[in-house]
Chain A
């Protein structure tokens, strides 16, 4: 995907440092100030003492359909899955990358399903955060769709969800399946 922000790219540059500081400021200060405007007193506090979960959210956008797909799992579960694919020791950055890639592959599967309905979408970069105490639900609008699944993975839960807003004028036209190469894990030689 194309990079929207191409400069500054080096973390050592002063502008990058200021941008990073501004993100901290947004997270720490702007939230309480915004809530105050709605008469809600908010005090920065520690995260709830729940087991940590990593959450990756990937936005998608097309001419008729836009939304996001999310996946949440514990770092321990992700480390186990990395071990299974030959990566015995994984730092948090790699675990985050693993979940971002899983969300990417999940959306890849969805894109392949949607393409047969004539729905095309572009994918944006995944955002990954460490979260405690996650409950996925959505107060939808009439045009919004939302689905969530909680999966038991040997005693640990993985949560997947997808939300989207469909153009109410759009009429889905099923297309013929273009070939077996769309199946994940398959190879097509030219």
Chain B
């Protein structure tokens, strides 16, 4: 059975890019358009083993989302932030919320597959 990866990003292009990279590598990709949608998809798919999460999104941003995930113990999935941000303060916040990695866009598809394979337990 394929492992499921949740990608949370308000950009359709980025979600497509992640799917195009992970599909051929044998991962099922579930898409969410913002943090609130991400929490809903997480609740509906208990088998998600990794979350790729943008930071700047409408409705609920990525840091808010992973804070909820951690505080309310909604998932044991590993979290990797996938963003244009590189601010040490945001990186510190994500780390405190249990994120396991930080990727700065644009990403290399092979690198993304490597990261997902490493962290998707």
Contacts and interface: CB of A to CB of B under 8 A. Distances in A.
Interface of A: 1-3, 6, 82, 85-87, 93-94, 97-98, 100-101, 104-105, 107-109, 111-112, 115, 120, 123, 125, 178, 181-190
A190 B99 contact: yes
B101 A87 contact: no
A97 B56 contact: no
Contact of A101 (B11, B21, B104, B108): B11
B32 to A, nearest CB: 15
Contact of B12 (A94, A112, A187): A94
A73 to B, nearest CB: 13
Interface string B81-113: 001111110010001000111111111110100
26 contacts: A1-B58, A6-B59, A85-B13, A85-B16, A86-B109, A97-B12, A104-B56, A104-B84, A105-B106, A108-B84, A108-B85, A108-B104, A111-B84, A115-B87, A181-B86, A181-B91, A184-B105, A185-B107, A186-B103, A186-B104, A187-B103, A188-B91, A188-B102, A188-B103, A189-B101, A190-B100
Interface residues of B, number: 34
Given A1-B58, A108-B85, A185-B107, A86 B20 contact: yes
